[in-house]
Amino acid sequence: MMAKANNSSLFIGFLMVSAAVLILPHQITSNLNAFFIELFSPVISLRIDIPEELINSKSPGGEWVTRQEYNRLWVAYKNIYADLLEEHERLEKMSQYRSYLPKSGAGLVAAKVIRKESGQFLLISRGALDGVRTGQYVMSDGAVVGTVSEVSTANARVTLVINNSHSLEVRIIRDQSTDYLRANIKGDGVSACKIPLVSREFDVKPGDLVYASPTPRFLDTPRIIGEITQVVPDQNNPLLWDITVNPPIDYDKLQEVAVVVMETVMEAK
């Protein structure tokens, strides 16, 4: 009888402690998670990679590249194209007046991916000490993969663009065109993204490119997110498009990313 009462008290005691921990603000309790990650990051980030040669047999003529290499080159090409469009735009403005302020410089902070977390998050090895702040863009091989959502002293959590609670302003650009359409992109929670609320009045086709829009203090030029792979009428609202975007990144294989840390004019002073 006594043992039963003791067990009940023990259970209730533990439950109350757990409830107290749950009630504590996430900003406070997340320090415990950050401490654990910092302490064990060498073990947690340990990877066993299966060599590419075991997965893919090599072409004898060497006429093709791996999907990873193809994606890297595709992203680089599309980003250069976006830069070209920006330069055109800048040239048009320059021909009218000289910009007063110099272009703010963007720095990249390279970070190691400690692990990919369920729910489309990445835990990276850079934090507030390295200038990483919430909202900064995170790139891999030149493509935007997500934004920083939580920062601790030495680590940060990145919400991937495929996360279904993640939203970003984007530009939809047709290849070889200078016009673009503004929209918002949202992850589908699995491996692709969706662009909701685009009217069917707009001409959007598979193959159009999706770029993250420049954002003051976070991104100064458009950077590629992915390519539109499917455009069908929205089943719930036939006046809108249901647009699917496929990012050119294999998130499971991400080992290194770069955080865009912009040095604004004010900070430089």
Between residue 142 and residue 161, which ones bind another protein under the rule CB under 8 A? 150, 157
Which among 39-47, 85-93, 197-205, 227-235 is the span making contact with another protein, rule CB under 8 A? 39-47
Between residue 188 and residue 227, which ones bind another protein under the rule CB under 8 A? 188-191
29 binding another protein? (CB under 8 A):
yes
Per-residue binder mask for another protein (CB under 8 A), 102-141, x = binder: ------------xxxxxxxx--------------------
Rounded Cα distance between 94 and 28, Å, is 49
Contacts of 37 (CB under 8 A, 6+ apart): 44, 114, 123, 152, 155
Nearer to another protein, 187 or 248 (CB): 187
When binding is defined by CB under 8 A, the residue of 1, 26, 102, 201 that contacts another protein is: 26
CB atoms within 10 A of CB 210: 28
* 245 membership: H or E segment, kind and range: strand 240-246
Assess contact for 185 and 170: CB atoms under 8 A.
yes
When binding is defined by CB under 8 A, the residue of 43, 101, 266, 268 that contacts another protein is: 43
Contacts of 104 (CB under 8 A, 6+ apart): 217, 220, 262, 263, 264, 265, 268
Nearer to another protein, 142 or 247 (CB): 247
Q: Which residues of 113-133 are buried (b: 16+ CB within 10 A; e: fewer)?
A: bbebeeebbbbbbbbeebebe
Could you tell me the smallest distance in angstroms from the CB atom of residue 33 to another protein? Answer: 6
Q: Which residues bind another protein (CB under 8 A)?
A: 3, 6-7, 10-11, 14-15, 17-19, 21-24, 26, 29-30, 32-33, 36, 40, 43-48, 50, 114-121, 150, 157, 163-165, 187-191, 251-252
